[in-house]
Structure 1
Amino acid sequence: MAILDLYSKGKHQQEIGHFANIVKIAKVDGEITDNEKELLIRMGKNLNLTLDEFAVILNNPEKFPINAPVSYNDRIERLHRLTKMILVDGNAKLIEVQLMIKIAVGLHFSTDNVEKVCDEAIHLVLNENSLEDFTEAIKKVHNF
C-alpha cells in the first residue's frame, strides 16, 4: 500500500469522526429537525461519505472517535461546522453548547478557555462571518 493510500484512508477516518460529532450535536436534544437534516446531507456530501457510511453514522454516532486533525486551521474549520449545526435552527440550546465544548476539547482547544472559544464561535456564526474571519477571531480568543 502506498503512503498516499494510507493518508487518504486516515483523512477519511477523520472526516467520519467529524461527521459523527456533527450528528451528535444534531441529536443531542432528542430530535433531528428538517433544517438539521438538510445540513447533515450537505455536510455528508462535502465530506465524501457514502450513503452506507452516512446511514451508519446517523444511527450510531457514538461509535466513532473524534480523530482531531493535526492542522490548527482544520480544527478551527471543524469548530465552524459544529457551530453551524448548533445554530441551524436559529438558536443555541444549552445541551448543544455543552456537547460542543466537550468536542472542542477533543479537538485540542485548551481547557483553560474552551468556553470562551465556543462562545466566540457562536457569536461569529450568528453574525455570518466568513470562515476566514472566523479563523482569525478564534485564533485571537484561543491565544494561538
Structure 2
Amino acid sequence: MIPDFAKAEDARAWLAGVLEGFSCQTGTLHKADGEWLDLVVQVGVPDFLLPKIERIPFGKGIAGVAAERREPVELCNLQQDLGGVARPDARETKVSGSLAVPVISPDGSVVLGTLGVGMQDPHDFTDEEKARLSGIASDIGKTWSGC
C-alpha cells in the first residue's frame, strides 16, 4: 500500500518497510520536477549528506542516471565505483550495494521520480530484486498519476 506522501511519518514507515524487504539500510524516494529530482522521503541517509540529495539533476548520481536512462541502475559496490556513476560524496553514506529505479507514469511517457535502496555490504541485485523494486516504483507511478 502506497502511503500519503504528504504525511512524513507515514512515508518514512512505508520506506522503512521497503528497505526491510530488501535487507537494505538506506533508501530514497525522489519526485521529478522537470529535469530535476526532489527528495520526498529518505531513511538512513546521514544528515550531512541531505543537502546533496535534496535536489538532483537527471543524469547525475545513481538516481539521476536511473531517471535519465529510464531503467534500473545498480552498483555492486558504491565504495569502489570506477564507472563514474556514483558521486564522490555518495561514498560517505558507507553504503556499498545500491539500486535505483525510475518511477514512470502508467503510460510510460513520463519519468515521475526515482526509488533507491542501499545496503552496507557489496551486493549484486538479482533480476527478481530489480523487478520487485520496479514493481513498487510502478505502484508509486500509478498513485502520482492519479490512476
Normalised to the residue count of structure 1, the TM-score between the two structures is 0.31
Greater CA radius of gyration, 1 or 2?
1
Structure with higher helix content: 1
Structure with higher strand content: 2
Higher relative contact order (CA 8 A, sep 6+): 1
